[in-house]
A = this chain, B = another copy of it.
Amino acid sequence: MTERITLAHGSGGQAMQRLIKERFLAQFDNAELARMEDQAQLALAPMMAAGDRLAFATDSFVVDPIEFPGGDIGKLAVCGTVNDLAVGGALPHSLSVGLILEEGLEMAVLDRLITSLAATARAAGVQVVTGDTKVVHRGSCDKIFINTSGIGVIPSHRQLGAHRVQPGDLILVNGTLGDHGAAILQARGELALSGTLESDCQPLNGLVEAMLAAGPVHAMRDATRGGVAAVCNEIAEVAGLRLTLKESALPIHPQVRGISEILGLDPLLMANEGKLVAFVAAEHAEAVLAAMRAHPSGREAAIIGAVEPAASHQVLVEGLYGTCRQLLMPVGEQLPRIC
């Protein structure tokens, strides 16, 4: 008989303790979690010099389907929060994991997702130190939702933020745009699209360290929901500047371009889960770009645009024939439950 999650697994009693001890602790293998107290206790003080800041980020994941080419909701849950920390210049340290499980979820599926989550955490060099498990009745959630929150340390000399972006900065990305959104669309199978597209879901903290070692970066954002369009509009608004992207410079996978053209979607609005947008002063841009290209997560990195002074903030895309179109903040939702 297929073993499944029952309401008892969320009870705080024996069934929940067994689930945690037998299925979760073995995967995470970490003394702090194994104490099973209500809170993790971390000796962070020795790691923090005077002036260092603590970074704190959270993300909930509701992606549908929960397993897709290139990843699953477990991998995504680690990447999302690790990347939110990393783009602020933080060294990610620890994660919490909050699971909301639907009664009836197959235990074998949960095992696969937790194994993937744990493997991704190891790859990113972060520890899962605290967690929580809730179970809701069949039909009250869709299979599994995961929240991860994360903490990390930002060395005092690292000062990144949208307000630091300057006229003259160049805009860099670490690879092809829209892969995650297109892979999810394809995985849903509603559109009879075939292809071999994979989500770009990956932790970016290693890449970020390589970039910051190569030169100063004014701001970074990971381009998840709303894609590069949302990031660029947010930065343009905070900095009060014009950002101009060059259509010809955008790295876009041919299959993503194909899907986008068929469906009338814009890869600049599509979600990524392993791509960041960085703003770097022109004199350091080539060095940072070279460091990105030398890293496995940045082989197809490119300079895609530049920052200019402007009377009012805006984001433009310069087309192949020199004409410009305005790239607006996405209004609604191209693809619900993309992450």
Which listed segment binds B: A10-18, A194-202, A250-258, A301-309? A10-18
Q: Which of A63-86 contact B (CB under 8 A)?
A: 64, 83-85
Knowing A14-B329, A44-B48, A48-B48, the reply to whether A132 touches B35 (Cβ < 8 A) is: no
B41 touches A88 (CB 8 A): yes
Q: How many chain A residues have a CB neighbour from B under 8 Å?
A: 88
Q: Which of A240-267 contact B (CB under 8 A)?
A: none
Question: For A330, what are the chain B residues with a Cβ–Cβ distance below 8 Å?
Answer: 11-14
Check if A40 is an interface residue, CB within 8 A of chain B. yes
Q: Copy number in this complex?
A: 2
Question: For A64, what are the chain B residues with a Cβ–Cβ distance below 8 Å?
Answer: 140
Chain B residue at minimal CB-CB distance from A131:
B58
Question: For A333, what are the chain B residues with a Cβ–Cβ distance below 8 Å?
Answer: 7-8, 10-11, 13
A60 touches B134 (CB 8 A): yes
Which listed segment binds B: A92-100, A116-124, A182-190, A284-292? A92-100
Chain B proximity of A238: nearest CB distance (Å): 8
Chain B proximity of A64: nearest CB distance (Å): 8
Check if A3 is an interface residue, CB within 8 A of chain B. no
B48 touches A149 (CB 8 A): no
Contact with B along A222-244 (1 / 0, CB 8 A): 10111000100010001000000
A58 touches B13 (CB 8 A): no
Report the bound CA distance from A43 to B137 in whole Å.
Answer: 41
A-B contact pairs, 17 of them (CB 8 A): A7-B336, A8-B333, A10-B225, A11-B330, A11-B332, A12-B225, A13-B330, A39-B87, A40-B57, A44-B54, A45-B54, A56-B130, A58-B147, A60-B99, A134-B339, A140-B142, A141-B145
